[in-house]
Structure 1
Amino acid sequence: MLSLRTLRGASWTITTRLAGRGVDFVTLLILARTLGPADFGLVALALSLIAIIDIVLEVPIAQALTRLPEVTRAHLDTAFTLGLLRGLFIGLLVALAAWPMTIFYHDPKLLAVTLVIALGPIFRSLYSPAMAKYYRGLNFQYYFFADFGGKLVATGLALAVLHAQGGYWAIVTNSIASSIVPTLVSYALAPYRPRISLAAISDFSGFIGWFSSSQILAAFNWQFDRVFLGYHLPKTELGQYTVASDFAVLPTQSVIGPAMQPVFAAFAQIHDDRPRLQAAFLKVSKLTMLIAAPAAVGIALTSDLIVSLALGPAWSDAGQYLALLSLAVLLIAYYQPTYSLCLALDRPRNLFVANLIDLAIRLAAVPAGYAVAGIDGVIYARILLSVVMFVLSTLFVRNLIALPVGVQLRNLWQVVASCVIMAVGVCALRQLHIEQGWAILAQLASVAAAGALLYVACLYALGVRVRSIV
């Protein structure tokens, strides 16, 4: 049985992410129908650079504090100082890279956009380290208040800029405000008087060293396709691709990602109990794929309807990209509980190895895919990489907790079978809708409802019960 506190924590983190994604989605719809793909492409270029720097310099403050048997004032001061140094380095690197990037992409507007967007990760680096007490106690409702409040304020400010004819600055405003406001709120929820000190750096250095090395590679992996395509494609096509990519990862980022925060904390508490950890991983990984697999398959089968209904005819190419990108995301979901397991067992070195392999394949596969089939070829390369990461995940789990690969795969057979049956049913229903000329909204609503019912019914018929997982 998964801990009730873990499930409660997961429900809060999922609620936080879903609520935030819901606000983001509404904001995206409004902005996408008012602005054009070129505006999103411009901001995407700036975000790609900042995302790389942000991820490279990521310092896992909350995770590092969670692993400690006791958190002292010295630990909080050290955590704040590391965050402050991180923010300063982000500002310095962005300032140094912004002008060369503007020249590289031949767009003078990029300079100001990049410098302003950098304020987001700089402020996020100053998040109150005292919030870690809620992380350690699995009390994630406090993160909801900070993050969701920030999303609402950011949306309001973005719409105000849009109303004032600010154009792409509305997207920029939404990006930075959603980081600045939660940081300010965090000090109200977890009061802490900042003090610069590195007295407890020895308790952070080993963990952060491997983690940071892994993040450097991950940063290039996660943004390489956008940077590569940004050089070869017009901003309109890049905007189509980036919006489709953002849509594709919504299920994993909105549900699976946030749920892993309390899972990591729970894994850390039972790290020395091998049988219990094996059982917990099987439950978590199965629950992860129970959610991610049907969502990815469903989006792939209805991508044209989703894009047409949500974004309008100007984004038609995004529907084609979304269908394939959703499949690329499907297997990546399995990496997330593996990621939490590696951190809980103090093995960030495994994450470094995984990202190094990913980078080596990506550097060859993405350009080759583009040379052969354009954007579709890049997406096929991402699908290949998702398969590689899935295989690596199963091997890491086998080595970390002696859980055979065969056991891990058998753990998912009901999910696979149910997804196949759901896909057949959805395809048949869509063909019927086309023949009868149903409206887009009616098609999407009926297909989503029928697919969900068919999937759940298949799981139940194959013996899956929620109580057996949680």
Structure 2
Amino acid sequence: MTAADGASLSARTIRAGIWTVGARLSSRLIDFAVLLVLARLLGPADFGLVATAMTVIYIVEAILELPLTFVLVRLPQVTDRMYDTAFTLGLIRGLLVAGLMAALSWPLASLYGDPRLMPLICTLALAPAARGLISPRMVIFEKALDFRRKGALELLGKAAAGAIAIFIAVSTGNYWAVAAGTISAPVVMMIVSYVMAPMRPRLSLADWPIFSNMTGWNFLSQIVSALNWQVDRLILPIYIDVTSFGRFTTANDIAGLPFQAIVQPTAVPLFSALVNAREKGSLVGAYLKACSGIVMLMAPVMCFIALMAGPVIHILLGPAWASGAPILAGVALTSLFVLPTVPMSALVLVLDRPRLVAFRSLVELAARVPLTVVGIIFYGISGAIAAKAGAGVALLLMTLYSVRSVAGIPIRDQLRSSLYPMVALVPAVAFLYGVPDLTQSGPYLYPAIAVVGLVYGMLYVAGLYGLWWVTGRPDGLESYLAGKATAYFRR
């Protein structure tokens, strides 16, 4: 490869990353906007009922997920027969998911004691079936690092689903609005995909061996990940009413938005940065900076959500959801244990130790399942939140010891890199503790929380840079931002 080719590849990679991150952020913003509108039109019970139905569907869909696109991207040349095989496998998967959910709909409705779940589960099963039938030829654009069409496809699906859901919510005012939005997004994406990447589907399994190896290795990891992701939502509806479950799932979704908007888009850049650092012999320092940077960005966001949960719920969802504030606060606080573990996946992949990712998921599952079962049986939602915290602590400990084993980074140094921004956050958190209940501000709630957020941010930045200066201005995110700020003011 020539220097010009390398520069061209780098430019295309950067553009692909921008489109991927931009599309992900935009689609999450659409989801968030639709959630806010639906929360005003529907109640927690409507969200809880749909969430109960979708929990099992998510688990079955995740377990039966086939990495078809990943296999096709890796192939140097893709033939029509391979595309036909990919389409056929996607169709078989969709029929399996839909058929399995139809068979489970009556037992699940009986288990959760709500007959409305039977038609709801059967209908919602159409969503994963449609997702599996998206045109396999869309992979042509991914192989060329052209993610514009994939981003546009996702945005069109989300926008159409949001419009349909809001229309039905206004017209009927019941839970089928949420279900319609869930189904219509993949259906719209499937239809549009064949406009962007036309193909005449043919049934064929001639090239099944090409896909079989990757599918087999992927199966166990998917089972573990799916159970980790949904175990509390699977058990909770048995022990609590559907309205309370709706508050729990919605609070979880709100607490997860910062991760989807900030953490997930950094996965590819973080991996590339660690690869580059390994080549330069500075992997340890780069990993510690990554840990510190993730905590530095996310900890103040999650602490603000936790301590201002009441006003946040009031503004986003309305007064009818006020009892969900303690749930949001608890879920946001439990996420603090997970923040230092985020860069580990990229590190072990750089060091060619991918089995540690699966092992980490198994450790998390071994801690989460018994804690969740016991916690929910005896304490309901509070027990589910405590189980999240316990699983987070187990995951953190496993990460600390694994990183020390594979990269030789002392646990003391790992803890120091993550505690550094937490110490800087203390003055800002102390300020929030002294703020009175803003939900009593009436019409002044919006400006009040804006002022509180501004002061909170200024105190955090001041604490961060004060601590950075006292510790000798070490190289890191603070020094980078300080340099940018200095250059800007000089101009």
* TM, length-normalised to structure 2: 0.83
- Which has the larger Rg? 2
Query: Match for residue 355 of structure 1?
Result: 361
Query: Match for residue 147 of structure 1?
Result: 154
1:76/1:130 contact within 8 Å kept: yes
2:296/2:422 contact within 8 Å kept: no
Candidates 251, 260, 279, aligned match of 1:244: 251
1:328 aligns with 2:334: yes
* CA 54–435 in structure 1, closer or farther in 2 if over 3 Å, else same: closer
Greater mean alpha carbon deviation, residues 81-90 or residues 434-443: 434-443
Greater mean alpha carbon deviation, residues 159-168 or residues 42-51: 159-168
CA distance in 1, matches of 2:340, 2:126: 33
Query: Match for residue 218 of structure 1?
Result: 225
Instruction: Give the % identical residues.
Output: 35
Q: Aligned with 1:439: secondary structure?
A: helix
Query: Match for residue 390 of structure 2?
Result: 384
1:142/1:189 contact within 8 Å kept: yes
* CA 14–401 in structure 1, closer or farther in 2 if over 3 Å, else same: same
The Cα RMSD (Å) is: 3.4
2:363/2:398 contact within 8 Å kept: no
Candidates 57, 61, 76, aligned match of 2:64: 57
CA distance in 1, matches of 2:180, 2:151: 21
* CA 152–82 in structure 1, closer or farther in 2 if over 3 Å, else same: same
CA distance in 2, matches of 1:231, 1:469: 55
CA distance in 2, matches of 1:108, 1:469: 62
1:55/1:215 contact within 8 Å kept: yes
CA distance in 1, matches of 2:278, 2:209: 23
By how many angstroms is 1:197 displaced? 4.7
1:451 aligns with 2:453: no
Counterpart amino acid of 2:305? Answer: I
1:27-426 map, 5 Å = 27-66=34-73, 68=74, 70-73=76-79, 76-135=83-142, 138-165=145-172, 167-198=174-205, 201-202=208-209, 204-261=211-268, 263=270, 266=272, 273=279, 275=281, 281-282=287-288, 284-341=290-347, 348-426=354-432
Counterpart amino acid of 2:27? Answer: G
CA distance in 1, matches of 2:56, 2:33: 25
* CA 290–437 in structure 1, closer or farther in 2 if over 3 Å, else same: same
Greater mean alpha carbon deviation, residues 386-395 or residues 112-121: 386-395
2:228/2:368 contact within 8 Å kept: yes
* CA 255–198 in structure 1, closer or farther in 2 if over 3 Å, else same: farther
CA distance in 1, matches of 2:36, 2:441: 29
1:214/1:348 contact within 8 Å kept: no
By how many angstroms is 1:143 displaced? 2.8
By how many angstroms is 1:277 displaced? 6.0
Q: Aligned with 2:66: secondary structure?
A: coil
2:227/2:365 contact within 8 Å kept: yes
Greater mean alpha carbon deviation, residues 296-305 or residues 14-23: 14-23
1:211/1:349 contact within 8 Å kept: no
Candidates 8, 13, 33, aligned match of 2:20: 13
By how many angstroms is 1:230 displaced? 0.1
CA distance in 1, matches of 2:274, 2:256: 27
- Aligned pair count? 465
Higher relative contact order (CA 8 A, sep 6+): 1
By how many angstroms is 1:213 displaced? 0.6
* TM, length-normalised to structure 1: 0.86
Query: Match for residue 7 of structure 2?
Result: none
Counterpart amino acid of 1:447? Answer: V
Query: Match for residue 444 of structure 2?
Result: 439
1:10/1:263 contact within 8 Å kept: no
Deviations 1:155-202 (A, max 9, x none): 111122123215111100111122222233334444455455555555
By how many angstroms is 1:60 displaced? 3.0
